[in-house]
Amino acid sequence: MPGYCAFCYARLSGDLPWCDDCDAELPRNGVACRRCAEPMATLGGGDVCGRCLRRPPAFDAAWVPLRYEEPLVRLVQRFKFSADPRAGTLLVELLIHALGDTAPCGERLIGVPGSWARTRERGFDPVAWLGDALAERWQLPRLAALRQRDSSSQRGLDRAARRRNVKDAFGIEGPLPESVLLLDDVMTTGATLDALALACRRAGARHIGVVALARTPPDRI
């Protein structure tokens, strides 16, 4: 409702679509690996997690400002499973508020293409919808990646199984510019974005960043 907080429905006094109290309670991903954005208890002696040191992803850096916890879980589910455009608009506003009016990197924005089966079931591709909105706000040209094969849902799979599930699932027509920015709504282990980043490297990209609204904490994977 216009004039009311999108989360608690309190009257608003500022320009944001959520109130100061709800803003203070958002689950920010403040201490996280610079490479994969996984939440960390402490950065210790560096800003890259041990997993990225052992097996670096195909992308170079990640910007994921929030953790996938309430109230974001309900908001994302309303958007993805109920096709709620207001929820989608709020997701875009949360990301722009966290990252700014300029994309953090990249000459092109490339979203993770949705599963054929789930896109038919939902009637739309959530990441494509977010990508269109963000490309317009960031004034960043958008490119479409291709699904070379459909993959089953990643839900309930461990890290290794997630990597196998999306291996060689994506393709993109090159040549790409040197720097690109990949987009997903929620980043769980990073396996999907890693697979898309590999496809982008094969198409000529050399510097690859990723952006998502929220990162799933390790204890929820």
Which residues lie closer than 8 Å to 27 by C-beta, 6 or more apart? Answer: 66, 67, 68, 69, 70, 72, 214
Tokens coding 139: 């004034």
201 class by beta-carbon count within 10 Å (0-12 exposed, 13-18 middle, 19+ buried) = middle
DSSP codes joined into one string, 15-64: SSSS-HHHHHHS-B--SB-TTT--B-S--TT-SS-HHHHHS--SSSEEE-
Rg of the Cα trace of the chain? Answer: 17
Rounded to the nearest 5 degrees, what angle is found at the Cα of 120, between the Cα atoms of 116 and 124? 100
171 class by beta-carbon count within 10 Å (0-12 exposed, 13-18 middle, 19+ buried) = middle
What residues does 144 pair with on adjacent strands?
Answer: 111
What is the pTM (predicted TM-score) of this model?
0.93
146 class by beta-carbon count within 10 Å (0-12 exposed, 13-18 middle, 19+ buried) = exposed
Q: What is the pLDDT along the chain (221 residues), one digit of tens a residue?
A: 678 999 999 999 888 999 999 999 999 999 999 999 999 877 665 799 999 999 999 999 999 999 999 999 999 999 999 999 999 999 999 999 999 999 999 999 999 998 888 888 899 999 999 999 999 999 999 999 999 887 766 776 677 778 877 888 899 988 999 999 999 999 999 999 999 999 999 999 999 999 999 999 887 76
Domains detected in the chain: 29-220 (3.40.50)
